[in-house]
Structure 1
Amino acid sequence: MFGPVPGMGSKRMAKTVNFHAGLPGFVSSGHVHAVLGGSPTSVEREVATLEGRGVLRRLRVRGRGEVLIRQDEYEGLVRRSSRLDEDTKGLYLRFLKENPRAGIMSVGTCDEKQGDALVRAGFLTGGTTTRDENASLGGFYGRPEDKASLASIAAASRAASGSIEAVGGVGALQNAGGRGGSSGASRLGRGGVGPEPEYRIAAPGHGSYLKLVSAAVEHLMSLLSRSKYGEMPEYLLRERWDGGIASDDARKMRRARGEFTGVLPWQTKKWREFYGLEFGWVLAEAMGTGRLEVFETGSVGRGVRKLRDD
């Protein structure tokens, strides 16, 4: 995900290294589809299988989409957290083990003090409701079940056959304006007043990851938009992403001759704002969201073409 850290000032290097170390091993669902290729249905089915076995954990953020993380790494984050006491850790780990597919946790699962501690530690987001969650999830990174429109039918085929997601997700009919036969417990909270508040499962650094990747994709699209027709050779786009820095071999040869041109690597936007995020990672992320495609030019290698802007 990140390239080797180049020479830079001690403060900047410490900030970069700490950012790398503090970011868990997240990967977006779109990125997985772009890297693995093949049938979206088969990829999603495999992800759903691993999720059911407790190998992967799916995390979601309102309006920003979802990411995947290995379950053992996520549990390790919980165990190493200094903000949680042992009782809270044990309760939360038991819930994760018993509910490998769960994306939400009822407020009644833990007491108020434990819930507050998990929120402050970054493992839960503040109390919300299913109706509020469905209304606010969306945007480019939203999943098909969060959008009640025909535009999401093609994307819905990525869900594993037989899963709730394959038919639009929980409450799909209600979200579209209909009246489904959902149980009173799901519609009414304690006392029958309204939807019961719920916590959404998250992870420390989840928001930072989505913010970083979203900004990186926007920057990559802006570089591609500078081309008259919205397309260019992949090597040229890579060079622009790297800030026009020459390749390692060329830089070594110039340095051996005592020559220097251009800017230092750590002065580029790639390192100043994106902490060394690699071009290949951002390209796969943009491909996974459907904003660009890679094609063979037949003359200058692979090319990159913009499909649409958000």
Structure 2
Amino acid sequence: MSLRSILGGSSRVRKSSKGSGVKRTSSSPSTASWASSLPRRKPGTHGSGSGKKPSATANDDDDDLFDDKLDDYGLVTALATDLNLRDTSQAIHYIRNHMFSAMPEQAAGMNSTRIAEVLNYRKRLPPIVTVSHIQTLLASPSAVEREIAELARSGFLRKIVVARRGDIGETVMLASDYEQMVRDAGGLDESSKASLITFLKENTAAQTVRRTALRPFEIDQLIKAGFLTAHHTGVIHHGSMSHTMNLYSRPEDRGTLTSLEMVSRQPTGSLGTVGGEGALHMAGGSGGGSGRTPWVDTGATELKLAVPGNGTFLKLLSSGLEHLVSLVNKAKFREAPEALLKDYWDGGIAKEEARYAAKRSRGEFAGVLPGQTRKWRQFYGLSFDWVLQEAVGSGLVEVFETRSVGRGIRAV
């Protein structure tokens, strides 16, 4: 048989009738093993050498890049990439220094007014760090709790807790930074500043302030300045809580008459241990009630330490966490590689820079500028790694090793 007849015939090589020893390639074990090592493609796509264009349905959904679940070789216990992090104080400085991405030096997509607004927003945020964030960077969460308690008793740290905010409401900051905020606060008399600083030094681990420790006009000034809040120890109806508070609050922190926080304070055998009078009505049911307001139950009011600007910090944090979880939930199995999610968080800037690198080198406008993405419009340049660590600490996502596409992120 001639070579021309072999190449001019069908694509499949057939066995020669004269016993030339040529076998069919489809049954070759080496070919089968080579084909099995090829990367998997989505259904409907074709190789570049087939001469056919990809079907229209292959690119209908660019977000669904994987038809199978990622390989899971175990969870990542600590997310810290800096091996110098050994204790809580170092972790606090690391978290504060890596919260935001650097401002783009050129082609930022923001005018001078917007750039000044972003920088001033970052400067106004208080230097606080969530406890759960510190635990994600260090190997032992229980050791972090013990160290924070010890540093608070020694007067090195100040712990500030916002009620009904769950893990993101437990924050710490350096005691020296908190005292400096009191000294630099406007609208406070020198006597009010001195009284609060004296109380802080005498009660290093205190989170509440006795009314007898301060004078009435000092309490009024500190509340207006944001250093004290009037916390109501009674029951707040869960309907008055926002969606964000319901999302991150613990079950015992939610304001119901039968919550653990409320029932545990009632005397044994009393009506309060089962929710009190009209518990069904107060919880939103149709049962008869005593006619009291369904929003706030009777209770005492105590003064708690607060940080000015903590509400702005919690709003930015909660909105960033919700956006990250929404990106993970878009995947088919609610999991995706970390590199892919980071690209989505940045708004696809990496792809655009690679595509329009030549034009941007000449100073021409091309692609999506950072100022046009949600990362800078809504989150003021919040870093993806920082938000990911907060999400892991809050129990919203978990990070695991894939050994093929880097680390994977899965919604919990």
Q: TM-score range by the shorter chain?
A: 0.7 to 0.9
Equivalent of 1:106 in 210, 218, 226: 210
Amino acid at match of 1:130: T
Given that residues 140 and 289 in structure 1 are in contact (C-alpha distance below 8 angstroms), is that contact kept between their aligned partners in structure 2?
A: no
Compared with structure 1, are the counterparts of its residues 77 and 252 closer, same or farther at alpha carbon in structure 2 (3 Å cutoff)? farther
Equivalent of 1:241 in 341, 345, 364: 345
- 1:28-56 Cα distance to aligned partner (Å, 9 max, x none): 111111111x2321111111111111111
Q: What residue in structure 1 maps to residue 182 of structure 2?
A: 78
> Which secondary structure state, in structure 2, belongs to the residue aligned with residue 179 of structure 1?
coil
2:394 pairs with 1:289:
yes
Amino acid at match of 1:47: I
Q: What residue in structure 2 maps to residue 4 of structure 1?
A: 102
For 1:1-310, list aligned pairs within 5 A. Answer: 1-6=99-104, 7=108, 8-36=110-138, 38-64=139-165, 65-125=169-229, 127-132=230-235, 139=246, 141-142=248-249, 146=253, 175-176=263-264, 178-179=266-267, 196-246=300-350, 250=354, 253-254=357-358, 255-256=360-361, 261-307=366-412
Identity %: 45
Compared with structure 1, are the counterparts of its residues 53 and 252 closer, same or farther at alpha carbon in structure 2 (3 Å cutoff)? farther
Higher share in helix: 1
Question: Is the radius of gyration larger for structure 1 or structure 2?
Answer: 2
Given that residues 100 and 381 in structure 2 are in contact (C-alpha distance below 8 angstroms), is that contact kept between their aligned partners in structure 1?
A: yes
Larger RCO (CA under 8 A, 6+ residues apart): 1
In 2, the alpha carbon distance for the partners of 1:279 and 1:109 equals 43
In 1, the alpha carbon distance for the partners of 2:355 and 2:201 equals 51
Compared with structure 1, are the counterparts of its residues 79 and 226 closer, same or farther at alpha carbon in structure 2 (3 Å cutoff)? same
Structure 1 unaligned blocks of 5 or more: 149-171, 181-193
Structure 2 unaligned blocks of 5 or more: 1-98, 269-297
Number of aligned residue pairs: give it.
Answer: 270
Amino acid at match of 1:21: K
Q: What's the RMSD between the two structures over aligned residues?
A: 2.9
TM-score (norm 2): 0.60
Most deviating of 50-59 and 270-279: 50-59
TM-score (norm 1): 0.78
In 2, the alpha carbon distance for the partners of 1:259 and 1:173 equals 61
